Copies of this chain bind each other. A is one copy, B any other.
Amino acid sequence: MSNPHGNGDAFIVTYHLHLEPGIDVDQFARNICLEQTVELSDDLIVEDSIRDRVVGKILSIQSRSRHIYELKIAYQWQVAGHELPQLLNVLFGNISLKHGIKWVDFEGQSPVLPGPKFGLEGLRKAVQAWNRPLVCTALKPMGSSPNVLAEMAYHLALGGLDIIKDDHGLANQPFAPFEERVRQVQAAVLKANRETGGNTLYFPNFVPQLDDFSEQLALCRQLGIRGLLVSPFLVGLDMIRALRAKGEFILMAHPALSGGYFGHPHHGIEPGLLLGKWFRLMGADASIYPNVGGRFIFDLDTCQAINRGCRESLSHILPAFPVPAGGMSLQQIPQMRRLYGDDMIILIGSGLFREDPNLLQAARKFRLAVENPL
């Protein structure tokens, strides 16, 4: 990737701008370069070297349609200091508070964006499943005791699910405190695996207050937990990077609270970028998103863009699993496979409970629905 600084150490961000009539696109673009770095207008920058090295450089501005432009800006990595919180700040910090700016793409390499540790192939290996979608469900409902959840997990694992995750609302509540829940559920899943010779994995929901981060992580390590469910917008986007840096756990990202960025057609962050490429770059091995036709708002194009962001070739970055979810049923599986291909994790939560009150049977049906070639 050529870059205007001539030192090979830049990242490139792409926005779609939706401008009111009469707004000068060149000035608007230049103001973004200033706003996201020096927070000064051009004439107040005293040191030329700051204008050259710190302020972003406009690489291109292309008209896409009436009032809509694609803008690419290059920044030297040093403005983000190779730290994730400040990188987010440069990419969308202050301009999130403006109108008509949608962050749609990112290109750049840094230790803070290492991509998945395990990735699509690593996760397939962990559950010993090839040439089919993986099948996953969520333990629920909130309010159930650890004992009830463990019993549920035992039957679901006997039925052959690849991954059993906590509902992302199971945190550290009194009815199922983190430690007790994770101990009991993990033991139940390991017991089922011993009985079946299967490889079901349990991913606890990891949503600690900062004070409990190390202790909860140590517990997971001690129990032989292989993967975690993480909601970056609940725990802070840097937590997924911090977990990835440890390299111990398969990371499944959940989009809770991210939806604020998707509500407006011309402002915010493109879901395909945020839930696809960006979560993958930060280190997610799998990224859950609300699939078309469920309880949420994404259309098919958006879902396909997330799939691409997870799986497309991206230099040395491993591909990740897209995880369509949010109100799916077993009946939708053939269509999902035709549309998305088999490199996905199908997450069916309440739809599985509705399928059959006998969870072992429900899980078997789910597993069978992905075993057969289309």
Binding site for B on A (CB under 8 A): 31, 35-41, 44-45, 47, 49-50, 53-54, 78-81, 83-86, 88-90, 92-99, 112, 138, 140-144, 167-169, 171-175, 207-211, 213, 231, 234-239, 241-242, 245, 255-264, 267-269, 290, 295-297, 326, 349-350, 353-354
Inter-chain contact B238/A210, CB cutoff 8 Å: yes
7 A-B Cβ contacts within 8 A? Answer: A37-B169, A45-B141, A78-B174, A89-B207, A97-B258, A112-B209, A260-B261
Inter-chain contact B85/A235, CB cutoff 8 Å: yes
Question: Within the assembled complex, what's the spacing in Å between the Cα atoms of A43 and B267?
Answer: 38
Measured between beta carbons, the chain B residues less than 8 angstroms from A239 are: 210, 236
Measured between beta carbons, the chain B residues less than 8 angstroms from A47 are: 143-144
Question: Within the assembled complex, what's the spacing in Å between the Cα atoms of A98 and B263?
Answer: 8
- With both beta carbons as reference points, the residue of chain B lying nearest to A178 in the complex is identified as B81
Inter-chain contact B296/A241, CB cutoff 8 Å: no
A27 to chain B, nearest CB (A): 13
Q: Given that A93-B231, A267-B263 are contacting pairs, would A237 and B238 also be in contact in the complex, using a CB cutoff of 8 Å?
A: no
Inter-chain contact A241/B209, CB cutoff 8 Å: yes
A115 to chain B, nearest CB (A): 17
Question: Within the assembled complex, what's the spacing in Å between the Cα atoms of A78 and B211?
Answer: 19
- With both beta carbons as reference points, the residue of chain B lying nearest to A289 in the complex is identified as B97
Inter-chain contact B168/A89, CB cutoff 8 Å: yes
Q: Point out the residue from B80, B173, B257, B268 that lies within 8 Å of A78, measured CB to CB.
A: B173
